[in-house]
Chain A
Amino acid sequence: MEELIKELKTKVIDVLNLEGMTPEDIDDNAPIFGDQGLGLDSIDVLELLILLEKNYGIRLTSPMEGKEVFQSFAVIARYVAEHRTK
């Protein structure tokens, strides 16, 4: 799981151009959205949906569903481990 979390963080940092940030800078359980989060917006959510589909074959249909999954990196990793098709 730890490895998957790190892999996800690396991919998210790359896709969302979170320049200067490293996987170690992000707490596994910290909220991704909101003021304490990574400063992501609605378009970032859409990019994250694509990231899951492209890399793990997971197709979430709505941004709302996405927000449930994108709570923290620990939650995303658990979801990916359970639902991945590639």
Chain B
Amino acid sequence: MRVCKTITIPGNTSLTGLYAEKVGNYPKFFKMDTLSKLGFLATELLLEGEADRFISREDRAVLLFSRSGSVCDDSHFAKSMEDYPSPSLFVYTLPNIVAGEIAIRNNYRGETSAFVLEQYDKERIRHVVEEAFQDRTTRSAIVGWVDVRSDTDWTCEVSLIEK
């Protein structure tokens, strides 16, 4: 396996600002939760300038890891439950939605998976990624530790890895 490139987005970064500066013209961004915004933006930076970027492909996996899962969104939805439960908030109470957002944006029809670990563990993540390459179609993967503790406190490190 070879790490091609890595992007980190420090906590407290203005995600809307980063979007305006680096992306634009993807209005779905504003509907996303913080976890999806981070995964989306990190991938945008990661893939900047990649040839044939949006052509449909099945050979690239999206594998995301965290400790917190969707806990921040869980709180948002729980709050809406007291009044009018919000379907759009509920959908984001799944840690794998961010992987789906990345797949939709980039037309990735390969594997997308989300994993939750008790703590960041570089070795363990490396193993899971290696194991994912057992899929006979997968040639590269977007791999990230995107851990959202709150809407301003997170760790986000996303890499492009080739088999």
A–B contact (CB under 8 angstroms): yes
- Chain A residues proximal to chain B, CB less than 8 Å: 16-20, 39, 43-44, 46-47, 50, 53-54
Residue of B whose beta carbon sits closest to that of A21: B27
Give Cα distance in the complex from A53 to B84, angstroms: 9
11 contacts between A and B (CB under 8 A): A18-B27, A18-B30, A19-B29, A20-B27, A39-B27, A43-B87, A44-B88, A46-B88, A47-B86, A47-B87, A47-B88
A54 touches B84 (CB 8 A): yes
Main secondary structure, interface of B, reads helix
**Contact with A17, one of B31, B83, B84, B87 (Cβ below 8 angstroms):** B31
Nearest first, the 7 A-B pairs at minimum CB distance are: A19-B30, A17-B30, A46-B87, A50-B84, A17-B31, A43-B88, A43-B87
**How far does the alpha carbon of A12 sit from the alpha carbon of B87 in the complex, in Å?**
15
Question: For the complex, what is the distance from the CA of A26 to the CA of B128, rounded to whole Å?
Answer: 48
Q: Which residues of B contact A44 (CB under 8 A)?
A: 88
Query: In whole angstroms, how far apart are the Cα atoms of A12 and B151 in the complex?
Result: 23
CA distance A39 to B31 in the complex (A): 12
Per the bound structure, the CA–CA distance linking A44 and B31 in Å amounts to 10
Q: Does B91 contact A (CB under 8 A)?
A: yes
